[in-house]
Structure 1
Amino acid sequence: MKEKSLSIQTKFLAAFTVGFLTILGASTFLTMEKEKQLIDQLLEDMLHNTARSYFDGINTMMLTGTMAQRDVLRDKVLKQPNILDARIIRNQAHDPLLKATEAREHELPLDELDRRALAGEQISLTGRNEAGRTLSVLVPLKAVEDYSGTNCLTCHQVPKNSVLGAVRIDMSLAGTDAEIHAGLLGNLLVNAALFLIGLGLFAWLFRHLIRRRMQRLEQSMTHIAEQADLCTRIEVVANDEIGRVSMAFNHMVERFHHSLQEVTKTSHQLNQSADEITQVVEQTANAVLEQQNETDSVATAINQLSATANQVRDNAQRAAEVSITADNEAAQGTKITTEVIQGIDQLMAEISRAAAVIEQLASRSTDVGGVLDVIKSIAEQTNLLALNAAIEAARAGEMGRGFAVVADEVRNLANRSHQSTQEIESMIAQLQQGAQEAVTAMQTARQSAQERSEQVQQAVNNLNTISGIVGDIRQLNTQMDHAAQEQFSVTESISYNITHIAQLADNTAEDASRTSRVSEELARLSHQLNNLIEQFKLCD
């Protein structure tokens, strides 16, 4: 809420200040880092030169035999500004003189950087101690044939490019960093002072060029809002953003003025229309009342018609059900009669097969009679032969007595065969007579079955005719049922439509009542709108 209540001038100045401070802080940080990198590079080059000069002095002492005074040279180097340490690190592996002379403690490798330098690595490293940043430079010293005009291999019996030692110079960067920070602080203060001057100038220009005009614009708008004076216009003094806002506001007020004039005219017309609507609503209410009475009469008639149609439909459905039952019974009778005809046909076929079997039996009995005739003839001949044998046996006397006994037995046997043959012949005659009677009965039964089959077939034809007639009646009943259903549906639809019309008439009556109330409310609102419009000052 506090941010929304701030003035535009305050918001502009705050945004300008935040932007400037952000840019100033970023540029100061980048400048400081750039200066540090540049100074670090210069100091690194300076330390390289110092290390080279230090070693050149040591080399001269070696050539002149004054190595015992090398600490004096070291002290001179340490007296240079910001130099923390200056050392010649000697490699014991390639310096045979180190055993013969007394080595200083500072000439031995003390840390990992010293050992890396003795391994041949040239190092430039930035570190930090209690006072601040430090810069360490380590330059390995290799045995070469020409080092500033001196052949190292003449004094040092080692392979070429062997690392004899290293020069290490440690320098403090705290003073340099302090000078950089002091310079940046001075620069920051100058920029801050210039910013404050520019901010004050910007605020003065904003106040005279924008804020005063915005205040005049606010006063004009407030006057129009409080006095409801749509004839007042804002003075446009320049064609800038504020001037265009003023012109847009004047155009908007002009549109409001014109719209309110049109609303005034429309309000008067609305009063007249409301009165006309009230009259039309009263007429509509009377017409709807008459429509409701007529609709009630039609609804009563339709209800009676619907009841009659419902009875017709029920009767048609019962007639259709009865015709369906009769049709099913006729179909069932036809099916049963057809099965009876099929049974009679099967019975006639069985009777025919039985008659054929009986006829075959009569034929076989006739054949048996022929066989019996043969047997009978053989028996007679045997009897005759037996008689002749008895005669011959009597002639033979005593010699033929045994043969006479046999001949007598043969004659007896022939007589019994003749008797049996006669009995069998009598039985076959009876069997033939029974078979003939059975064939006659079978033929009579087959003829009777044929007549019954024809009568049953005639009954089937009559049943089919009855089934067809019942089907026609069923179809007619179905059509009557469909017609009754359609009549009932149409009647129901008409009844529903009449009811819906009655509901619509009721709704229309209610709508007419509501419309009457709305027209009265509309007239009241129209008068209220006129009162509201009269509060504005409109120009002619």
Structure 2
Amino acid sequence: MIAPVFILLLFALVTFYSVREFRSLDDRMGTVARDLAPETAVATGVLINLYRLRLWVFDYYATGNEEILSRLKHLESEFFNDLANAQANIQAPERIRLVREIEQATSRYVGFFEEELVPAKQQVQRIVAEELDQYGPAASKALRRAMDGITNREPGSPLRVTLEQLIHDTLLMRMATQRYFSDGTETSEKALGYAMEDVSDALSFLDMDAVPGFIRQYLDTAIEALEKYQASVNSLLLHQGAMNRTKTEQLDVLGPEITQLARELEQKVFVAMEAVADEAESKTDTALRFIMAAFATSVVLGLVVAYLLSRMMAVSVKRARAEILGYLEDIGNNRGNVSTRLTKGRPDEIGDFISAVNSFLETLEDIISRIATASRGLTSESESLSDITDRTTKNSEQQRDQITQVSAAMQEMVSTSDEIASNTNDTDESARQAARLADSGQATVTNAIQSVTRLAEQVQEGSLRIQRLEQESGEIGGVLEVIQSIAGQTNLLALNAAIEAARAGEAGRGFAVVADEVRGLAKRVQDSTVDIERIVSNLQSGAAGAVVDMSKARQMAEEASDEAGRSGEALSDILAAVNRIVDMTTQIASATEQQRATAAEMTRNVEASSGAIDELTGDISHVNDSSKALAGMAEEMDSLVRRFQVN
């Protein structure tokens, strides 16, 4: 037993060491998955958002687009959220320090941008949009008008040369301003200063006392606009310079520092991941070498122990085999003694097997003893069962004869029920015929009632229409009165027109003819309205008579509808009485049918009982035969049990 125990201990040691090493490897992989991988993603995200932030800042510096500010706000929020996530996820103190330095530097970077560069850029854009773009074109326009005036009135004046130079210098100054606003370089700033000096020199050569009065107002406007333009340019240079200083001295310094910190953070995360990977690889190699060595040792020891165990087990196996074969041979010769037991062996696997065989023999001895006792009892019980089946067979034959007599009586009762059911069905059919006739009469009366009702409704509708016709005829009378009034006024107007035409003399002759025609038309309209009024009056009289006649017809239709309703009620009472007769005959028929069905069911039950008794008689005969066979089998089982020797 020492060798197997040693092998088990060796395997336990190998398993413990392997589990410890692989658990350590799993912890390292978990460190990579839980800590370093998220830290890598966070560091990379911080670096990417930092590049985006700087690009948006430079874009705003170059263009001044206000939409970029809203995007920068969103990007700043996202960037600082990434930094907060980095502080929550990163575990190493050195990397946490870098994240905090990045956050502090970025806060200063954003502060310089929002507090210094953005206000300066907004001032520059305001100066350009509200001052330079206004004063510059105004000065150029006024100088061109002055130049046009000199050219038209005094083409040979020395003032023309001065104005041409001033216009040229003004244009160069505006171009230099635009160039400086675009790139903001030192070269463009110097060029702008030279252009402003040239404009000032040109203005100093301008003798306002010698300027003619017709262009003085233009020159005054131009000089005022140029002075304001130069003042705005100086303000522009001031704000642009502040913006350039913020960019070069703050943003261009902080930006690379923050980028370097982010790269250092990313690099430290990568270095930590490489260290964890190298350590995991080393531990894996060590564990594999230890497992291979332990496996080889276990194989060698296992082979040696197996050989020794096989030698020791051979003796016990041979002895147990001889005893088992002898016992089986005794059983084959009908001399088997179930009280025999095998010789106990060593406390090993063979010994356990011999103990199990002995336990089996003890159980077998107990089972055979119980079978012998049961077989003797079974023989006695089978004989008792045979006597009982004989008595049951005689009783079932007597009961079958009695059931046959009951079945004959039930057949006669079913015949009588069939005759009663036939008579009841004839009565029910007659009652249903009367019910159908009553239904037909009621349907006819119902149709008559509906027809009379519809006639009354139509008469009512016709009466309403004639009443509306009478009302509309009255309205026509009102319209005729209006037409008569208009015709009378038209006649008066035509008469007045004729009088005025007569006063006008020859000039109003044509108008008099027209007035006579109008007066004639008004006369004919009055005559026509009289005829229409007579026709409408006759129509109203006819409509009133029709209303009276329709009212009488509606009253007669209502009386006919009432009489038809009373007839329908009488037929309904008749139909109810017939239906009660039908129900009573139906109940009689149903009761008769139930009685006949009950009698038939009893007949079937009696016949089924007779069949069941016949089947029971057959079953009892089978049971008798089975009990006799069971007695024979009990005797055979007892003879078989006697072949074994039991204490």
TM-score of the aligned structures, taking structure 1 as reference length: 0.42
Which protein shows a greater Rg?
Answer: 1
Higher helix share: 2
Higher strand share: 1
TM-score of the aligned structures, taking structure 2 as reference length: 0.36
